[in-house]
Amino acid sequence: MNQAVMQKARELAYLIAQSPEYISMRAAEDAAAQEETLVALSARYQELHQKIEDISMQDSPDFDQMGALTREMDDIQEKIGAQPLAQAMRQARNGFSEMMRQVNAELSEVLNPQSACSGDCGSCGSSCPHCH
């Protein structure tokens, strides 16, 4: 494996880990992991998910029971989504995902410049040869 490429990958990973987007996401995840209500709701959600999976593997699955469990999961998901720490975590994850989308777009542009540019200079950020 090319050591120079691996070194740059480590450097990029380090820079990403130091970014405000990553730090914010980790802090939001840590705060959510400490919130008892979120932990309990998440545990119940996982428990229901496992029950549905177990039922679906049976020779004659009880679809009524699966439906009831699915509705309960939906209710729990709404409760989780309404929690301020869950909202903050989702927002922080979205910020990090957007940063990573931009990083991946930059990599794609360098590796395959023609596919990154649609000819519309607004779509590629004016960083390709076509738009300069």
Compute the distance between CA of residue 94 and CA of residue 86 in angstroms, rounded to an integer: 12
Does the structure show a pLDDT above 70 at 118? no
Amino acid (one-letter) located at 48: L
* Residue-level pLDDT at 1: 74
* CATH number of the CATH domain containing 89: 1.20.1500.10
Q: For residue 81, how far is the Cα from the chain centroid?
A: 15
Does the structure show a pLDDT above 70 at 125? no
Amino acid (one-letter) located at 104: N
The band of 115, judged by pLDDT with boundaries at 50, 70 and 90, is low
SS3 content of the chain, % helix, strand, coil (to 5): 80, 0, 20
**For residue 24, which of 81, 105, 94, 100 has the smallest C-alpha distance?**
94
The band of 93, judged by pLDDT with boundaries at 50, 70 and 90, is very high
* Residue-level pLDDT at 113: 82
Could you give the C-alpha distances from 47 to 30, 37, 63, 72, 87, in angstroms and in order?
22, 15, 17, 11, 22
Mean pLDDT value across residues 4-23: 97
Domain that holds residue 26: 3-108
Give Dmax (Cα) for the chain. Answer: 63
Does the structure show a pLDDT above 90 at 90? yes
**Contact present, 38 and 86 (Cβ < 8 Å):** yes
Kindly report the average pLDDT of the chain as a whole number.
Answer: 91
Q: Is residue 44 part of a domain?
A: yes
Does the pTM surpass 0.85? The reply is no
What total of structural domains would you count in the chain? 1
Q: Is residue 37 part of a domain?
A: yes
Compute the distance between CA of residue 96 and CA of residue 17 in angstroms, rounded to an integer: 10
Would you state the structure tokens that stand for residue 20, as one six-digit string? 């405000």
